[in-house]
């Protein structure tokens, strides 16, 4: 429970209306009622404000809603996220080390850590303060996990990997599986040992079923603040720059280096051994097959600048007609050339 005034201070907003009204939960604009807070981030929902029964509404500057209690801020969506975090509170009970968890005697467990039933913690593992490992998490030997991490059920972290502070691993994420490295040997393939590690820096989130492969040598590194969606694949020796985001079913092939604040839309990716600059965006199902410059949006396979791709896409549907016209022109040209030659012979 919090007043609008308290929530406004939390997110740097201004109150229009009653600052002492109390808020206990957040709901969508069409479901919110007394005691609820909702938010308006998309202008298309403006017509719903009149019928909204919420005790408070988070809005951007310039929204006019007579008789409503408003929290006015520059980024309603961000304010919603911060307030939801506070009102939601802690979701998972602090239980310490459960009796049905298997923790090696050499493991170093920080203050306030919760390790749920079915977890297996290997030798020389370090787990920082207040981290939570939910049921059936497996942590191999010599792993280091920072403070305030949340590792969901069924995750696996392999040997020697490093996980920073406030990292979230969604259910079934695998950190440090072998990179896909095989040397051709005639008609067969010889497995290349993958002896490197994975490093997840602070505030990284890895989605459900996502895999980050360990390096052949050295490290695969996901830098601070990166967010990976479900079913994302990061291959060995990749470096993903700070605060980059990757939507579901995206993938990066081995040894590619990506700058900060990159955006990969759904089912997009990059080939191996490339360099992608800062602030690169690859549209859905796009694929980088060569190095990409910073501060540009790319689309298509192979990826090209987005504006160029739009112009090209307008032509796609016309290609069959253009081919027929070109064939007809080639035929007429051949006939004209034949006529010219016959005329020259007569002359």
Q: Which residues contact 204 (CB under 8 A, 6 or more apart)?
A: 164, 167, 168, 222, 223, 224, 225, 226, 227, 228
Polymer length of the chain: 347
Taking only Cα atoms into account, the Rg of the chain, rounded to an integer number of angstroms, comes to 28
**Residue of 215, 220, 210 lying closest to 240 (CA atoms):** 220
Instruction: Catalytic residue, from 236, 243, 273, 306: name it.
Output: 236
Cα–Cα distance, 1 to 69 (Å, whole number): 16
Reply yes or no on whether 306 is catalytic: no
Longest dimension (CA), the chain: 106
Q: What angle do CA 102, 104, 110 make, to 5 degrees?
A: 95
Q: Which residues contact 256 (CB under 8 A, 6 or more apart)?
A: 235, 238, 239, 270, 271, 272, 273, 274, 275, 276
Q: Which residues contact 296 (CB under 8 A, 6 or more apart)?
A: 277, 279, 280, 281, 305, 306
Residues designated catalytic: 236
């Amino acid at each position: 429970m919090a007043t609008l005034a308290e929530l406004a201070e939390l997110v740097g907003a201004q109150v229009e209306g009653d600052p002492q009204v109390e808020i206990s939960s957040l709901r969508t604009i069409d479901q919110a009622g007394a005691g609820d807070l909702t938010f308006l981030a998309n202008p298309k929902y403006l017509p719903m404000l009149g019928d909204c029964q919420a005790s408070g509404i988070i809005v951007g500057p310039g929204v006019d809603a007579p008789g409503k209690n408003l929290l006015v801020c520059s980024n309603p969506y961000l304010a919603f996220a911060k307030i939801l975090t506070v009102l939601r509170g802690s979701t998972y009970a602090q239980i310490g080390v459960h009796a049905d968890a298997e923790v090696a005697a050499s493991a170093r467990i920080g203050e306030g850590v919760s390790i749920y039933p079915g977890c297996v913690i290997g030798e020389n593992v370090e787990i920082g303060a207040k981290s939570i490992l939910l049921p059936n998490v497996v942590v191999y030997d010599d792993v280091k996990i920072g403070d305030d991490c949340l590792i969901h059920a069924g995750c696996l972290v392999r040997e020697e990997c490093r996980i920073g502070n406030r990292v979230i691993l969604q259910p079934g994420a695998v950190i440090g599986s072998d990179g896909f490295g095989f040397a051709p040997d005639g008609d067969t393939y010889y497995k290349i040992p993958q002896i490197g590690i994975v490093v997840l820096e602070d505030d990284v989130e890895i989605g459900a079923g996502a895999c980050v492969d360990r390096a052949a040598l050295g490290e695969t590194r996901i830098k601070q603040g990166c967010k990976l969606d479900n079913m994302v694949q990061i291959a060995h020796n990749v470096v993903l720059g700070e605060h980059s985001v990757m939507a579901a079913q995206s993938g990066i092939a081995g040894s590619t280096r990506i700058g900060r604040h990159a955006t990969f839309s759904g089912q997009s990716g990059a080939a191996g051994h490339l360099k992608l600059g800062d602030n690169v965006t690859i549209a859905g199902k796009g694929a980088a097959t060569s190095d990409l410059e910073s501060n540009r949006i790319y689309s298509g396979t192979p990826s090209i600048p987005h504006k160029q791709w739009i112009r090209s896409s307008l032509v796609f549907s016309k290609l069959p007609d253009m081919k027929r016209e070109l064939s007809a022109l080639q035929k007429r040209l051949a006939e004209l050339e034949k006529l010219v030659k016959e005329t020259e012979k007569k002359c």
